[in-house]
Chain A
Amino acid sequence: MRRSASLSGPALMIGAVLLALLFTTGILLIAGAPPLEAYRQVVLGSLGSTKKITDVLVAWVPLLLATSGLMVTFAAGLWNIGIEGQITLGAIFATGMLRLTLDGGLPPGIAIGAAILAGILGGAVWALLAGLLKAYGGVNEIFGGLGLNFVAVALTVWLIFGPWGRPGVASMSGTEPFPDTFSLPALSGLRLSPWAVLLGVGGYLLVFLILQGTTFGLRLKAVGKNPRAAFLLGIPTVRYMLLAFVLCGGLGGAAGAVQVTAVYHRLIPSISSGYGYLGLMVAMLVNYQPLWMPLVAFFFAALNLGSIQLPIVLKLDSSLAGVLQGALVLFVLAVEGIRQRLRRPQAKAAE
């Protein structure tokens, strides 16, 4: 009874994946592209070699961090659309800290550590803003978050072209790259940094532990499922809601810091790479349960990376990954919705 929803989960997922593939195949046929070849390219482009797989992991880490954060806000019943801005602010704070330490002549290890902590702080502050707007300003977190996302992007562009611009040649390509020593050390010959993976997995495990085993997590869930009853049972709901925002923002900020210290080595205009929105999709796809989340996040990261091949080999746009990801989420949600619709009359008849 209790687990019935998740028991039929795998069958549901397979059905939805097949439908999404069918849908995407249809799109490819309409576009006049060979579907099988396109899929082969995506698989080769993401899993074709060890190098490729480590490249997927490079994208997986920030996605994992952002989605882990979203698990917390979803548990508290919050739609933290502002995650994009929180990633961006994390990147801005991390960049700012690196610039400071670069000037101050601190050893790289300490500088990078400080940059990541600053990133966590930046994301947390940005999320707290959305939370305060909701709690005290009556602004729904979806609208507040969306607004703050635009502000964050504007802030990035201003910094890149203004105070942090490259001397003389400020451009959309971003700020002056940091010296190699001021990056998280990568494996030799690869782009992947084991430190970043450690951070990502650590963030995920922290969230998993909080949600599955702590009183704090249980209370968050209570607030998410029924804030009124939680309040009447004595839980300070506003405080818990704000804490959920801060936690999620911190993890999003960590994702932004990873983008700066391990991926781009500088601040670029679209530093969040859309991992926040992608994370929302991953969270919806796993029905807000953390167990399968890393796997699905890996799958999404692989799709993103694999589709980079398409324009080169098949003259197709790389947005195919987005089509497949979006279709997947829509079909899973639709199939789940239809299943509940079908089940309801039966439950009534059984009464």
Chain B
Amino acid sequence: MRVELRDIHKSFGPVHANDGISLTIPAGTIQGILGENGAGKTTLMKILSGFQRADGGEIWLDGRLADIHSPQDTGALGIGMLHQDPLDVPAMRVVDNFLLGRAGGVRPRRRQAQAALHELAERFGFALDPEAYVEGLTVGERQQLELLRLLWLGARVLILDEPTTGISALQKEALFASLRKLSQEGRTIIFVSHKLEDVENLCHRVAVLRRGHLVGEVASPYDTDRLVEMMFGRVVSLGSRLEGQAGKRVIELEEIVIEDRRMTIGPVSLQAAQHEVIGLAGMEGSGQQSLLRACAGLIRPVHGRLRIDGEDVLGRSYHGFLRLGVAFMPAARLEEGLIAGLDLTEHFALTRPQPGLLVQRQVAQERTAAQIEAFKIKGTPTSLVESLSGGNQQRTLLALVGQDMSLLLLEHPTRGLDIESVVWIWEKLKERCRAGTAIIFVSSDLDEILHYSDRIHVFFGGRVSPSLDARTTTVDQLGQLIGGKGWPEVSA
């Protein structure tokens, strides 16, 4: 089926996730959609599959204007989407999952489904036991099941959102082989990914998105450097790193291994000293966030050693780490960082309690006013945190972290902030660094990583690069590593 997207617009509040995207995909094509996190890939695909409504624009299928309101509509039109997290029911058997979503009588036709499942699985060389429970399957097997289910439902356009995350190399080969077969049958495949190698191997054509815009389309064979440039754009200057002498070692990780739900991360060895800034780069979900949380004591590694100020601290609680001077700032400001419903004064009273049992509101408000002044927060002591803008919430989070911390672990410290706030927040962070704090931060903004880090570790599917000197690393190099290319060179 030929898919045409015409001038698709979608905004979430102030964020323009899709800004006038037009794209035509001929029938039988494997179309890659490439872009970094937040480029608008998933939004576009959710619009095409009916999970979200566009603010504007049209979708034409085989030359006819499609009226899409819900996933049921697109199912009937022959569009099926394979989500990053499989939409299955883990507590049910494979064959029952297979039956879900199929219109039918009161009694499910189990036998018929079983036969169909068997036949489809055979055709693509998937080994699925119809009577097994889905919760016992690997991510790759669940994906296979979902793929077969969509085909059985009659999907002629298949959308796959980051399908190669969390599956084995063998499963990936099987998946790619079946996708090629399907495209030869005339089905249209849309393959959404940030993995350069996968896209280059599989796709006939690639469309690159950046910040809600379609940057351009490229056909196979590809020039990797060109793709990286299209994905990440040109560099804008942000500020500079703090060029200081590293001091005493604060944290040291030795051969740390973390078991995630999806993958194994590591082994990674990493250290940070006073006055140092370490950047962790990688696509969302490549393992960098788990590692940061392990450094905070929130996730317990399965293997390795973790020392803070020379002391072995593996197995201690998050609060134990906190007492040692390790502070963690989560990216989800209102979900994990701040408490909606409490005002600024209450936040400062919480983190720095006054002596005695009672809270003296007057004293607390004066102290809060001083913090508001020092951190240039646009708000009053009685402002509820949820009424503040993102930038001001971030400033509040930073202000809540005690001045005497020896290690700051920051998850996307400037995500969603305007450039002025970004520069200001980093000025504050550098101030702390000068005073002797070490910083480890996760960011998907390559410029931020390159400009403020002394050293960088890149994450890709749980693999972690050795530390790279930020001074001699280029955006292109970093972009390739994040996309999974050029690893043999750095690993050597």
Q: Are A218 and B336 in contact (CB under 8 A)?
A: no
Q: Are A235 and B350 in contact (CB under 8 A)?
A: yes
B343, closest chain A residue (CB):
A2
Partner of B359, one of A2, A215, A230: A215
**A166 proximal to B (CB < 8 A):** no
Q: Are A221 and B342 in contact (CB under 8 A)?
A: yes
A236, closest chain B residue (CB):
B319
Contacts of B346 in A (CB 8 A): 218, 221-222
| A342 CA to B340 CA, complexed, in Å | 21
Contacts of A225 in B (CB 8 A): 339-342
| A101 CA to B261 CA, complexed, in Å | 59
Contacts of B191 in A (CB 8 A): none
Q: Are A2 and B384 in contact (CB under 8 A)?
A: yes
| A218 CA to B349 CA, complexed, in Å | 8
Given known contacts A215-B357, A233-B400, A222 and B342 CB-to-CB distance under 8 angstroms:
yes
B349, closest chain A residue (CB):
A218
Interface size class of B (residues with CB under 8 A): 20 to 34
Contacts of B328 in A (CB 8 A): 232
A237, closest chain B residue (CB):
B319
Q: Are B322 and A234 in contact (CB under 8 A)?
A: yes
Q: Are A228 and B336 in contact (CB under 8 A)?
A: yes
**B35 proximal to A (CB < 8 A):** no
Q: Are B358 and A214 in contact (CB under 8 A)?
A: yes
Within 8 A of B (CB), among A208-255: 213-216, 218-219, 221-222, 225-226, 228-236
Within 8 A of A (CB), among B296-352: 318-319, 322, 328, 330, 335-343, 346, 349-351
**B220 proximal to A (CB < 8 A):** no
Given known contacts A215-B359, A218-B349, A222-B350, A231 and B318 CB-to-CB distance under 8 angstroms:
yes
Q: Are B339 and A222 in contact (CB under 8 A)?
A: yes
**B138 proximal to A (CB < 8 A):** no
**B13 proximal to A (CB < 8 A):** yes
Within 8 A of A (CB), among B343-373: 343, 346, 349-351, 353-354, 357-359
**B387 proximal to A (CB < 8 A):** yes
Q: Are A229 and B337 in contact (CB under 8 A)?
A: yes
| A37 CA to B349 CA, complexed, in Å | 54
| A234 CA to B322 CA, complexed, in Å | 7
Contacts of B330 in A (CB 8 A): 232
Task: Count chain B CB atoms within 10 A of each CB in A213, A219, A232, A234 and give the residue with the most.
Answer: A232
**Taking chain B's interface residues, is the majority helix, strand, or loop, or is none over half, making it mixed?**
mixed
Contacts of B335 in A (CB 8 A): 226, 228-229
**A1 proximal to B (CB < 8 A):** yes
| A231 CA to B387 CA, complexed, in Å | 22
Contacts of B184 in A (CB 8 A): none
Given known contacts A225-B341, A228-B336, A215 and B353 CB-to-CB distance under 8 angstroms:
yes
| A222 CA to B336 CA, complexed, in Å | 12
| A215 CA to B352 CA, complexed, in Å | 10
Task: Count chain B CB atoms within 10 A of each CB in A2, A229, A230 and give the residue with the most.
Answer: A229
**B382 proximal to A (CB < 8 A):** yes
Within 8 A of A (CB), among B154-168: none
B317, closest chain A residue (CB):
A236
Partner of A213, one of B13, B353, B359, B387: B359
Partner of B351, one of A213, A226, A233, A236: A233
Q: Are A215 and B339 in contact (CB under 8 A)?
A: no
Contacts of A230 in B (CB 8 A): 339, 350
Q: Taking the nearest CB of chain A, how far is it from the CB of B402, in angstroms? A: 9
Partner of A215, one of B337, B343, B354, B383: B354
A3, closest chain B residue (CB):
B382
| A225 CA to B359 CA, complexed, in Å | 19
| A8 CA to B222 CA, complexed, in Å | 63
| A16 CA to B387 CA, complexed, in Å | 29
Q: Are A213 and B339 in contact (CB under 8 A)?
A: no
Q: Are A213 and B358 in contact (CB under 8 A)?
A: yes
Given known contacts A218-B349, A234-B322, A235-B350, A226 and B339 CB-to-CB distance under 8 angstroms:
yes
Contacts of B340 in A (CB 8 A): 225-226
A223, closest chain B residue (CB):
B339
Contacts of A234 in B (CB 8 A): 319, 322, 351
Partner of B350, one of A213, A214, A219, A236: A219
| A233 CA to B296 CA, complexed, in Å | 12
**A103 proximal to B (CB < 8 A):** no
**A180 proximal to B (CB < 8 A):** no
Proximity bits, B378-393, A CB within 8 Å = 1, else 0? 0000111001000000
The 3 closest A-B pairs by CB, nearest first: A226-B339, A225-B341, A215-B353
18 A-B contact pairs sorted by A residue (CB < 8 Å): A215-B353, A215-B354, A215-B357, A215-B359, A218-B342, A218-B346, A218-B349, A218-B350, A219-B350, A222-B342, A225-B342, A226-B341, A230-B339, A232-B318, A232-B336, A233-B339, A234-B351, A236-B319
| Beyond known contacts A2-B382, A219-B350, A226-B339: 16 more, CB 8 A cutoff | A2-B343, A214-B358, A215-B353, A215-B359, A218-B349, A218-B359, A221-B341, A221-B342, A221-B346, A222-B346, A225-B340, A225-B341, A229-B337, A232-B318, A232-B328, A234-B322
